[in-house]
Amino acid sequence: METPIQRLDFPNHRNVRLYCKREDLLPFSLGGNKVRIGQAFYADMLAKGKDCMMVYGNSRSNLCRVLANLCRAHQIPCYMICSREEGEESGIETNNSRLMKWLGAEVIPCEKTNIAQTVEDTVNRLTAEGKHPYYIFGDKYGTGNEGTPVQAYVDGYREIQQWEKQEGVLFSHIFFASGTGSTQCGLVSGKILEQGSEKIVGISISSREYERAMKVMQTGIQDYFAENHLELPVDFAKELHLEMGYRQEGYGKYDDRIMKVIREEFCRNGLPLDPTYTGKAFWGMKEYIEEHQLEDCNVLFLHTGGTPLFYDCLPGGTL
Ligand SMILES: *Cc1c(COP(=O)(O)O)cnc(C)c1O
């Protein structure tokens, strides 16, 4: 499953040439990085002999939509523990949450402070019903399965490097929206394994604090290398660059600067972005390019998908 890399029109005064890898065009369930990542979890569920899927996310989650779709296609029951962000009075609806319901996933609402308990209760209920639930994030605290999704973007990194060699274009930087860190773990692991030279820069779009995000990514990379009997350089953590300055008020929060970039990119390049993930990351990347005065280089934006949320942010939509 190889996705195209295209040159974008990107007016600037320092000869920065911008390219975009269109992971949003992956051919399943409206695309996005969660197609690759979801398939890795789904395969792990089967490998572990489980017979139903438990996911955690919120109403904007692309991972929950893709997993609900994969499960439905294979007639596997799918349970989605759905939290809302602090300050959201009631759970908001998005195209993703509508699609999850439409796909027949059972949505289990939950407070953000009560996730572990809800995971445990759900595991117990399903077990009592004779099922063997697979929780994608490991134990009830969401740890223990960090290595599983990493392969997805080791493969993604290899595609990028392949393209660079074929086209004779070397990227100085790779930017993308970073949330759980799975994509970043994969790209960084791929770079280490293939001795790449690009600076891999995650633009944080999540509410996770820096220390915790870095810890989770280190664990993911360590687990992946250990599970695959690969040798990990001791100083691997120096490859993890996570920008925390473009989160605005936190996950799902955005202002007019982001909406302006979204409209601009659609008008200029026909590129759909959304305010929670790719639009925020694209805006963050543009700020970064200015702040760091990047000059005469090739930059790659990894478009991680979220197409349903693009439609949500059009005038008249729910975001
Ligand atoms: C999940 C998601 C991300 C973040 O990817 P992680 O691997 O969780 O860091 C970025 N963009 C979109 C559109 C996503 O759905």
**Backbone φ/ψ region at 24: left (φ over 0), alpha (ψ -120 to 50), beta:** alpha
Ligand 1 atom at minimal distance to the Cα of residue 186: 7
Q: What's the pLDDT score for residue 90?
A: 65
Q: What is the pLDDT of residues 23-48, one digit of tens each?
A: 999 999 999 999 999 999 999 999 99
Strand boundaries in 121-163, DSSP class E: 133-135
Q: 266-269 long-range CB contacts below 8 Å, 24 or more apart?
A: 268/8, 268/9, 269/8, 269/9, 269/20
Q: How far is CA 296 from the centre of its chain?
A: 29
pTM (2 decimals)?
A: 0.96
Number of structural domains the chain divides into: 2
How, if at all, do strands 199-204 and 133-135 pair? Answer: unpaired
The finding on whether 3 has its CB within 6 A of some atom of ligand 1 is no
Residue numbers in the chain where pLDDT is lower than 50: none
The finding on whether 34 has its CB within 6 A of some atom of ligand 1 is yes
Q: What's the pLDDT score for residue 318?
A: 78
Do 192 and 258 share a structural domain? yes
Q: Give the Cα separation of 309 and 319 in Å (integer).
A: 8
Do 238 and 209 share a structural domain? yes
Ligand 1 mean position, distance from CA 30 (Å): 14
How, if at all, do strands 5-7 and 78-83 pair? Answer: unpaired
Q: 60: which residues sit within 8 A by CB, 6+ positions away?
A: 94, 96, 97, 252, 276, 309, 319
Ligand 1 mean position, distance from CA 129 (Å): 33
Do 242 and 123 share a structural domain? no
DSSP letters spanning 238-277:
GG-EEE-TT-TTSTT---HHHHHHHHHHHHHH-----TTT
Do 161 and 271 share a structural domain? yes
Do 296 and 183 share a structural domain? yes
Domain span at residue 43 reads 33-135
Give whole-number Cα distances, 210 to 123, 124, 137, 280, 297, in Å.
30, 33, 19, 17, 28
Do 166 and 211 share a structural domain? yes
Q: What is the pLDDT of residues 60-117, one digit of tens each?
A: 999 999 999 999 999 999 999 998 877 666 678 999 999 999 999 999 999 989 999 9
CATH number, domain at 56? 3.40.50.1100
Please name which of 122, 144, 270 lies closest in space to residue 262, comparing C-alpha atoms: 270
Q: What's the pLDDT score for residue 57?
A: 93
Q: Give the Cα separation of 34 and 66 in Å (integer).
A: 6
Do 165 and 55 share a structural domain? no
The finding on whether 272 has its CB within 6 A of some atom of ligand 1 is no
Ligand 1 atom at minimal distance to the Cα of residue 178: 9
